[in-house]
């Protein structure tokens, strides 16, 4: 029986691959047979991820995607891609009445602007194959409000809206575009504005009694990148552990 979830023969770019969900997805993609290209800003942590990957032929390219010159250099080095997973991003906890331009730039540039601009360059440089799959790691925060999380939530809502439009534009080429929106996942991002002890207590309120792990999100990404999801585009999948709040 053929395995519809295999990524054998596929080349996948993963941004934000130096830690957290991005690292988990990169590891899972390699385990399913893909050739993985990793990118992030931190050279040392990116090399650590590279060392964790099964198989051969994987590469890493250090780049700050908020900087045009580095985005361009990344795109120029890429081969044709069967899949892209955009995971790079930052968190923020600032009350609405205290927001400044710096706060907006800190979150919107890496979380929304950079992924959109990178995708435009990938398409203009014809780096995306027909029937490819594009996956954006958004967040359930886009629809689950919490105090101090306005800018982060807005950045993820922007990515979901963008991805739905992109799905319409790329459908004639059978290129699929989907989002994954997790609630809390045990990564460094979860620790923004909270302690480990606070999070360990709060996760007990989830119906499944725990926050997610990067591999939980990675398994869903594998489905979206694989041929098992060839009739799925323009979707935003929430993966929440059963909770209705963050």
pLDDT in tens, 154-195: 999 999 999 999 999 999 999 999 999 999 999 988 877 789
Average pLDDT over residues 113-135: 98
Say which DSSP state 38 is in.
E
Q: How far is CA 164 from the centre of its chain?
A: 15
Given pLDDT bands bounded at 50, 70 and 90, which one contains residue 210? Answer: very high
pLDDT above 70: percentage of residues in the chain: 100
CA–CA dist 40, 79 (Å, integer): 17
Rounded alpha-carbon distances, angstroms, from residue 234 to 10, 141, 174, 215: 21, 19, 12, 23
pLDDT in tens, 7-51: 999 999 999 999 999 999 999 999 999 999 999 999 999 999 999
| Closest C-alpha to 16, from 52, 63, 83 | 63
pLDDT above 90: percentage of residues in the chain: 95
Say which DSSP state 187 is in.
S
CB-based contact 212:241 (threshold 8 Å): yes
Given pLDDT bands bounded at 50, 70 and 90, which one contains residue 244? Answer: very high
pLDDT in tens, 50-85: 999 999 999 999 999 999 999 999 999 999 999 999
Q: Where are the domains of the chain?
A: 11-238
CATH class of 11-238: alpha beta
As a dihedral over the C-alpha atoms of residue 142, residue 145, residue 150, residue 155, rounded to 10 degrees, the angle is 0
pTM of the model: 0.97
Given pLDDT bands bounded at 50, 70 and 90, which one contains residue 123? Answer: very high
| Amino acid 150: pLDDT | 97
| Amino acid 235: pLDDT | 98
Rounded alpha-carbon distances, angstroms, from residue 53 to 8, 59, 134: 14, 10, 21
Positive or negative: CA dihedral 25, 27, 32, 36: positive
pLDDT averaged over every residue in the chain: 97
| Amino acid 3: pLDDT | 94
């Amino acid at each position: 029986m053929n395995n519809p979830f295999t990524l054998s023969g596929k080349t996948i770019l993963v941004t934000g691959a130096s830690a957290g969900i991005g690292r988990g997805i990169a590891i899972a993609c390699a385990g399913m047979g893909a050739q993985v290209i990793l990118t992030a800003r931190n050279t040392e942590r990116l090399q650590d991820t590279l060392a964790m990957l099964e198989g051969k032929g994987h590469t890493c390219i250090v780049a700050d995607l908020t900087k045009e010159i580095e985005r361009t250099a990344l795109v120029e080095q890429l081969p044709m891609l069967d899949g892209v997973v955009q995971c790079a991003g930052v968190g923020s906890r600032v009350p609405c009445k205290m927001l400044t331009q710096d706060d907006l730039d800190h979150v919107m540039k890496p979380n929304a602007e950079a992924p959109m601009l990178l995708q435009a360059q990938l398409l203009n440089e014809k780096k995306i194959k027909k029937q490819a799959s594009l996956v954006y790691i958004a967040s359930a925060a886009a629809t689950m409000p919490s105090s101090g999380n306005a800018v982060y939530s807005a950045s993820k809502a922007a990515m979901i809206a963008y991805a739905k439009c992109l799905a319409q534009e790329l459908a004639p080429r059978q290129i699929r575009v989907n989002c994954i929106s997790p609630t809390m996942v045990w990564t460094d991002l979860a620790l923004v504005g909270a302690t480990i002890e606070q999070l360990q207590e709060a996760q007990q309120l989830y119906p499944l009694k725990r926050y997610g792990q990067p591999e939980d999100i990675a398994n869903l990404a594998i489905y979206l990148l694989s041929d098992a999801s060839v009739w799925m585009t323009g979707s935003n999948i929430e993966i929440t552990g059963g909770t209705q709040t963050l």
